[in-house]
């Protein structure tokens, strides 16, 4: 079982590269049972959306 610390590394890297099959499975199991990391994953996608908006001049 991977630690939360390792899970956060993968959740960052999945934004930059294709994870391997085992990394994906491990991560999926981890976020299924870990609320904090599940939230972290949501935050990573909010962060990406925010950057997209900011980087394209779409802010109010």
Partner 1 sequence: MELDRQKELNALRPDLLRFAHLQLRDSGAAEDAVQETMLAALVGNHRFENRSSYKTWLISILRNKIIDIIRSQSREVTASSLSDDETGDDLVDSLFDQRGHWQETARPGRWADPENSFEQQQFWQVFEACLDHLPERTARIFMMREFLGLDTDEICKEASISTSNCWVVLHRARMSLRTCLETKWFAGEEA
CA distances 17 to 31, 39, 58, Å, are: 19, 21, 26
Q: Which is nearer to partner 1, 15 or 25 (CB)?
A: 15
Q: How far is the CB of 18 from partner 1 (least distance, A)?
A: 12
Residues 6 or more apart whose Cβ sits within 8 Å of residue 16: none
Q: Which is nearer to partner 1, 20 or 43 (CB)?
A: 43
Q: How far apart are the first and last CA of the chain?
A: 43
Q: Is 19 in the site for partner 1 (CB under 8 A)?
A: no
| Chain positions contacting partner 1, by CB under 8 A | 3-6, 8-9, 12-13, 15-17, 35-37, 39-40, 42-44, 46-60
């Amino acid at each position: 079982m991977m630690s939360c610390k390792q899970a956060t590394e993968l959740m960052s890297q999945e934004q930059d590269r294709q994870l391997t099959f085992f990394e994906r499975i491990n991560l999926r199991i981890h976020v299924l049972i870990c609320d904090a990391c599940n939230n972290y994953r949501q935050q990573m996608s909010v962060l990406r959306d925010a950057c997209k908006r900011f980087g394209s001049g779409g802010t109010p």
